[in-house]
């Protein structure tokens, strides 16, 4: 079978997007590449199989166990991630998805990213399945604080209400996913997306790949936007081997969109 041209795929996806009322956008680190954030291995995209300064695998340094045992180590690398995200602005892809939410109230975003760029772009129907680095929670009381950056923050920080340690509102290695986010994702899937996008993610986590599997099993079109091969490349109806911003700008400029 002849492979379709990029223009033919873009036309088909633009037409599907124009018809869709409940599109689901699943995003990973690749959507933030145009914001200057790297996409390689590790929370926040800072590590690629390298050990930390202390000799720990990054998965151990950024684990719930390490946070409880040696919080200064976990906070050192959380702060590096935050610094990497600092001053980053939403890309055209983030902004276009937020604009599509305004046009289509049934649209939702499921993101693995903890950089808050979807929220900064204006997305409201947003499931941050791994949390956000820009919110701190007390490990003992109900204190929580949203903050733009960690400038001037003592590390590791203490709760101003009870003096116990604060933690970032992110899912560390070895921790469970947040129940509220999982419940919201279940509601979105129960409502039945009518178009599924997988954008800038390798889809190695089952809960990220699941909506694409669901789409295939239920006769719903799925679209992958990613320059490389991923866990779901063989499952989607349409593949755009492009960066996120390039693809979404091309789609939104199409006559059908």
Tell me how far apart the alpha carbons of residues 131 and 133 are, in angstroms, rounded to a whole number: 7
Tell me how far apart the alpha carbons of residues 208 and 126 are, in angstroms, rounded to a whole number: 14
Q: Is 94 a catalytic residue?
A: no
**Cβ neighbours around 185 below 10 Å, total:** 19
Tell me how far apart the alpha carbons of residues 173 and 217 are, in angstroms, rounded to a whole number: 31
Which H or E run contains 136?
strand 131-138
Q: Provide φ and ψ at 21, rounded to 5°.
A: -110, -25
Which 8-state DSSP code applies to residue 62? T
Residue 124: partners with Cβ closer than 8 Å, 6 or more residues away: 101
Tell me how far apart the alpha carbons of residues 146 and 6 are, in angstroms, rounded to a whole number: 42
Catalytic residue (choose from 65, 94, 118, 130)? 130
- The catalytic site residues sit at 130
């Amino acid at each position: 079978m002849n492979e379709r041209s990029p223009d033919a795929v873009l036309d088909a996806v633009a037409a599907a997007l124009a018809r869709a009322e409940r599109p689901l956008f699943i995003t990973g680190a690749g959507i933030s590449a145009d914001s200057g954030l790297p996409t390689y291995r590790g929370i926040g995209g800072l590590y690629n199989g390298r050990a930390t300064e202390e000799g720990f695998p990054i998965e151990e340094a950024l684990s719930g166990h390490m946070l409880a045992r040696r919080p200064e180590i976990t906070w050192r690398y959380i702060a590096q991630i935050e610094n990497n995200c600092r001053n980053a602005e939403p890309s055209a892809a983030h902004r276009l998805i937020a604009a599509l939410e305004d046009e289509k109230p049934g649209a939702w975003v499921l993101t693995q990213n903890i950089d808050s760029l979807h929220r900064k772009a204006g997305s409201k129907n947003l499931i941050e399945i791994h949390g956000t680095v820009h919110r701190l929670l007390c490990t003992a009381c109900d204190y929580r604080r949203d903050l733009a950056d960690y400038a001037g923050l003592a590390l590791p920080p203490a709760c101003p209400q009870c003096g116990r340690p604060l933690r970032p509102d992110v899912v560390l290695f070895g921790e469970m996913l947040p129940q509220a986010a999982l419940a919201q994702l279940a509601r979105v899937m129960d409502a039945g997306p009518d178009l599924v996008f997988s954008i800038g993610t390798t889809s190695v986590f089952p809960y990220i790949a699941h909506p694409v599997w669901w789409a295939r099993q239920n006769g719903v079109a799925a679209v992958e936007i990613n320059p490389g091969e991923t866990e779901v490349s063989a499952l989607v109806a349409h593949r755009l081997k492009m960066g996120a911003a390039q693809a979404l700008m091309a789609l939104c400029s199409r006559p059908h969109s």
